[in-house]
Amino acid sequence: MGSNAPQAATRPLAIEARGLVKRFDGFTAVDGVDLSVPEGAIYGILGPNGAGKTTTLRMLLGIIDPDEGVRRLLGTDRPHEVAHTVGYLPEERGLYPSMKTYEAIAFLGALRGLPLAEGRRRGKQLLEEHGLGYAIERQIRQLSKGMAQQVQLLGTLVHNPRLVVFDEPFSGLDALNQGKLERMIRSLAVKGTTVIFSTHVIAHAERLCDEVAIIAGGKVPFAGPVDVARDRIRPQVRLETRAKDGPWRKALPADARHEGNFWFFSLPESGIEPLLRALIEGEAGILSLSIERAGLHDAFVAIAGEAAARALEEEKEEVRR
């Protein structure tokens, strides 16, 4: 999971936000968001559509200003001053249809201060490196939607940014290209680039991220390492016994439920050892015993609530359709 970067506590921050608030026509879209993104981290902002993810990213980048709160981007509270070192892929994709692919990449680089000639050279090189060399001379209008998204992604990276911000980058990509993007995100982090992305797909965040911020209703009820989020829920135990009953039953936690030969329950706070002793002494006949940590999905439900979790699932179903 995540990158091989040093522990977050030892790294300077690429992004820091305190008390961000943004209102639109009396509606509070973001309500007191705090974030700390270490340099070199893969950081996910996880939540359903309408939770405030895009508004938060736009405030961090200086595209819009917060009504309250402060944000620092790569060490400055004036994000425009470091815009040339940032790559941003918005959720709303858009390229000029008549441009050739390598020219579109060069154009996006030029918006970040990269000379056009160098952008064209790098654009062709990036297309070759990512298996799109055959499309160098094609116009954007001649590409499939997935290919056009890849071209815009390469344009986001052509100027070698220190920080890359992706807004729902996996949206609209098939499984093959989602896998390619995941590998690209990992390779960026290995090189020391900070990657922050928003998503409503928990699996992407769980596989990729060092840390996540869970956002729901414009608030962030949790921000920190993925493991810490998962530890909000006690590990679950699955126990299979030969005996159906006996004095050992009294040692099982109150939440234990019985299904066939199996018992399912939360790991006791005292650990598994006292329970094991009771099972052995009571001749329960242990056939199997496994302890599983909670996944990020279960942690999301516990932290953000059932309604937010249902909204995530509904969005996944809409994408499948």
Query: Rounded CA gap, 240 and 259, in Å?
Result: 10
| Contact predicate 223/194, CB 8 Å | no
Pair (176, 240) in one structural domain: no
Task: Examine the domain organization and report whether 16 and 161 are in the same domain.
Answer: yes
76 within some domain: yes
245 and 220 belong to one structural domain: no
Range of the domain at 282: 236-292
Do 110 and 153 lie in one domain? The reply is: yes
12 and 119 co-located in one domain: yes
One-letter amino acid for residue 163 of the chain: L
63 within a domain of the structure (yes/no): yes
Q: β-pairing, 194-199 with 163-167? A: parallel
Q: How far apart are the first and last CA of the chain?
A: 29
Residue 36 has phi, psi (to 5 degrees) of -140, 110
User: Do 174 and 109 reside in the same domain of the chain?
Assistant: yes
Residue 305's alpha-carbon distances to 18, 19, 230, 312, in angstroms, are 23, 22, 15, 11
pTM of the model: 0.82
Please indicate, yes or no, whether residues 173 and 247 belong to a single structural domain of this protein. no
Q: Is there a single domain that holds both residue 131 and residue 240?
A: no
Residue 139 lies inside a defined structural domain of this protein: yes
Q: How many domains does the chain have?
A: 2
Q: Does residue 158 lie in a domain region? A: yes
Examine residue 313 and state whether it is found in any structural domain, yes or no: no
Q: What is the pLDDT along the chain (321 residues), one digit of tens a residue?
A: 554 444 545 679 999 999 999 999 989 999 999 999 999 999 999 998 888 999 999 999 999 999 999 999 999 999 999 999 999 999 887 889 999 999 999 999 999 999 999 999 999 999 999 999 999 999 999 998 888 989 999 999 999 999 999 999 988 788 888 898 999 999 999 999 999 999 988 989 999 999 999 999 899 999 999 999 988 888 989 999 999 889 999 999 988 999 888 999 999 888 899 999 999 999 999 999 999 988 898 888 888 888 777 777 776 666 555
* CATH number (domain holding residue 155): 3.40.50.300
